[in-house]
Amino acid sequence: MTINVYTEQTPNPATMKFMVNKLLINGSEDFATKESAEHSPFAKELFKFNFVSGVFFASNFVTITKTDDAEWADIEAILKEFVKGAVESELKIKEATAEEAPAFEGTETEIKIQQILHDYVRPAVEQDGGAITYKSFDEGVVTVELRGSCSGCPSSTITLKSGIQNLLQRMVPEVTEVVSEAL
């Protein structure tokens, strides 16, 4: 199979989404620092580039965050070629672990919130090169964690309040607010 790689800009100007025509991972993996990539051969290799400051994998893409002093015009082709070679050589994203379907836990309301985030919000957030993780529900407030290109993105607050909060309030009347936990 020929591996094709194409890039998409994300709402976060410091990140770019590198899409491939192959499933890379079920779920997602976030490596916000070089140290966190210890058990990911793929991410560890990406961090060897001095202009890479974050790596996030989901389904068929890797979102790469660059350092402030790097310009996409200078590094995009290099990273595209690297991603292509890494996928072709089947460089592992993480050490082998058992994959399982998402297990939603908590009260009936918490499970409903998690299901909505998984079914409706996650695919939309992944389109922009990011991921969302449910953290908690307490006294009407849903706390989530935004990763990948969503972490530090200028438009993530709008997404959180206008998109996710409105959706959850319509579908789960107990929800009064959605907040993002800082990383």
CA 164, CA 48: separation in Å to the nearest integer? Answer: 36
Q: In whole angstroms, how far apart are CA 176 and each of 47, 116, 161, 165?
A: 40, 15, 11, 8
Closest CA relative to residue 61, chosen from 84, 94, 32, 35: 84
* DSSP code string of 117-153: IIIIIHHHHHHTTEEEEEEEEETTEEEEEEEETTTT-
The order of strands in the sheet holding 130-138 is 130-138, 141-148, 177-180
pLDDT digits (tens, 9 = 90+) for 98-125: 445 567 889 999 999 998 888 878 877 8
Strand partners, 144: 134, 180
Extended beta strands in 14-158, E state: 15-20, 25-31, 52-59, 61-66, 130-138, 141-148
Q: What length is written for the chain?
A: 183
Cβ atoms of residues 43 and 31 within 8 Å? yes
* Residue 114 CB neighbours (<10 A): 19
Domains delineated in the chain: 3-87 (3.30.1370.70), 106-179 (3.30.300.130)
pTM above 0.85, yes or no: no
Closest CA relative to residue 41, chosen from 82, 10, 102, 4: 82
- pLDDT value at position 101? 56
Mean of pLDDT over the chain: 87
User: Is pLDDT of 96 > 70?
Assistant: no
CA 160, CA 5: separation in Å to the nearest integer? Answer: 30
pLDDT digits (tens, 9 = 90+) for 112-166: 999 888 887 887 787 777 788 899 999 999 999 888 777 767 677 777 777 888 8
